[in-house]
Chain A
Amino acid sequence: MKTQLRKKPAARPFFQYPRKWLLAALLFSQTLLAIDVYQFDTPQQEALYRHLTEELRCLVCQNQNIADSDADLAKDLRQEVAQFVKQGKTQEEIIDYLVQRYGDFVRYSPPVRIDTIVLWTLPFAVLLFGGWGLIRTIKANNQTNAAAIAKTHSQPTSADSPTEPDS
Chain B
Amino acid sequence: MKKSTSTWLKAILPLIIFIGFVALLMSGIGKNPRLIPSPLIGKPAPDFALPSLHDPKRIIRKQDLLGQYYLLNVWGSWCPSCRVEHPMVSQLASSGLIPVYGLNWKDEPENAKAWLQQFGDPYADILVDYEGRTAIDFGVYGAPESFIIDKKGIIRHKVVGEITPQVVQNELIPLIRILDAES
Residues of A within 8 A of B (CB): 59-60, 62, 72-73, 76-77, 80, 99-105
Contacts and interface: CB of A to CB of B under 8 A. Distances in A.
Interface in B1-54: 33-34, 36-40
Contacts of A72: 106, 132
B141 A103 contact: no
A102 B132 contact: no
B138 interface: yes
B72 to A, nearest CB: 15
Q: Which of B33, B34, B139 counts the most A-chain CB atoms under 10 A from its CB?
A: B139
Interface residues of B, number: 17
A102 B141 contact: yes
B136 A103 contact: no
B39 A101 contact: yes
B136 A101 contact: yes
Interface in B133-161: 133, 136-139, 141-142
Mostly helix, strand, loop or mixed at chain A's interface? helix
B132 A103 contact: no
Nearest to B36: A105
Interface of B: 33-34, 36-40, 106, 131-133, 136-139, 141-142
Contacts, number: 40
23 contacts: A59-B36, A59-B142, A60-B142, A62-B33, A72-B106, A72-B132, A73-B141, A73-B142, A76-B131, A76-B133, A76-B136, A99-B39, A100-B39, A100-B40, A101-B39, A101-B137, A101-B138, A102-B36, A102-B39, A103-B37, A103-B38, A103-B39, A105-B36
A101 B40 contact: yes
Contacts of B38: 102-103
- List the 6 closest A-B pairs by CB distance, nearest first: A59-B141, A101-B139, A103-B39, A105-B36, A102-B139, A76-B132
